[in-house]
Amino acid sequence: MLDIDFRSRKPIYEQLVDQIKEMIVSGVLKGGEQLPSVRVLAQQLTVNPNTIQKAYRELERIGYIYSIQGKGNFVSEKIEASNQEELKMVKENLQKLAQQALFLGMQSDELLQIMEEIIKDHQGGKRDD
Amino acid sequence: MLDIDFRSRKPIYEQLVDQIKEMIVSGVLKGGEQLPSVRVLAQQLTVNPNTIQKAYRELERIGYIYSIQGKGNFVSEKIEASNQEELKMVKENLQKLAQQALFLGMQSDELLQIMEEIIKDHQGGKRDD
DNA sequence: TAACTGTATTATAATTCTTAATACAGATAA
DNA sequence: TTATCTGTATTAAGAATTATAATACAGTTA
């Protein structure tokens, strides 16, 4: 499930944020679903609980999860309205990456094709709710 | 031109890589164009020359610039064929970001519209060569 | 009460980033 | 040739970030 590269220059907590975020947006983790507790996940991944908590706190800051004292961390339900700043940043990065892709030789057709495929998957995922 | 945020948690050399990369893909820096020397840019930005060189080395590694001893650093001419690994990574990140954008509430129409606009700009930029 | 949850704090270690001071080699113009 | 650019490399030190460790406290639940 979660795969940490301890030799990476990328901090562990950032790897966790990216991977969990990806699982949420791809529908692997559904809204309302409970995440592993800080201590359990720390033991599973053999990292310090503080590192897990740092990742969870960041995911909460950008609106992907929320926490309840004594109960646990949960995937947010309605993320659309929650964080416009995050959407703005994602949009900017999306534009930069699309420019880079074209610059590196990706064809316009392929770019549009990729987007349409993701749109299709996203609409399909909605029906699963 | 280049704007470093010294209070950012993001390393200076990474900020430089991202910004210079953006200037190259957006056409602000043209193929063959010479970049400021390591020492000159270091003085302009009030950072250490080693930090500039670290950024230049990374940009060279991913194929955006090349260097000639005694002459300087230059923007690469044909980047398309040079680095398929980089294109692969850009493609993966592009897919992740598009998923995130939809998840955060961006409409499919807007996503496609953004892509078409970037495609248009990219084709327009080619005519300037 | 016991055993889970999140949260917070303090200290220390490990890693990464940045600076500083040099030095050497290639290119170029006076 | 010499002076002055350029890139490149090395070593050392400091600063900042990341990660761990050891606790402690509070809320939830069976």
Confidence of residue A85 (pLDDT cuts 50, 70, 90): confident
| Structural domains in chain A plus CATH codes | 12-75 (1.10.10.10), 84-127 (no CATH)
- A108-127 and B108-127 helices cross at what angle (nearest 10)? 170
Confidence of residue B84 (pLDDT cuts 50, 70, 90): confident
Confidence of residue B74 (pLDDT cuts 50, 70, 90): very high
Cα(A33)–Cα(A111) distance, rounded to whole angstroms? 33
* Nucleic strand C under 7 Å from the C-beta of A5: no
Asked if pLDDT for residue A74 goes beyond 90, the answer is yes
pLDDT the model gives residue B125: 72
Give the CA B52 to C1' C26 distance in Å: 20
Give the CA A116 to C1' C21 distance in Å: 55
Which residues make beta-bridge pairs with B68? B72
Nearest neighbour of B99 by CB, restricted to A26, A96, A112: A26
Asked if pLDDT for residue A128 goes beyond 60, the answer is no
How far does the CA of residue B84 sit from the closest CA of chain A (Å)? 8
Beta-carbon separation of A99 and B24 below 8 A: no
B87-123 pLDDT tens trace: 999 999 999 999 999 998 899 999 999 999 999 999 8
CB atoms within 10 A of CB B70: 5
Confidence of residue B129 (pLDDT cuts 50, 70, 90): very low
A83 vs B33, more confident = B33
Asked if pLDDT for residue A17 goes beyond 60, the answer is yes
Nearest neighbour of A86 by CB, restricted to B25, B90, B104: B104
A98-124 pLDDT tens trace: 999 999 889 999 999 999 999 999 988
CB atoms within 10 A of CB B94: 23
DSSP label of B9: S
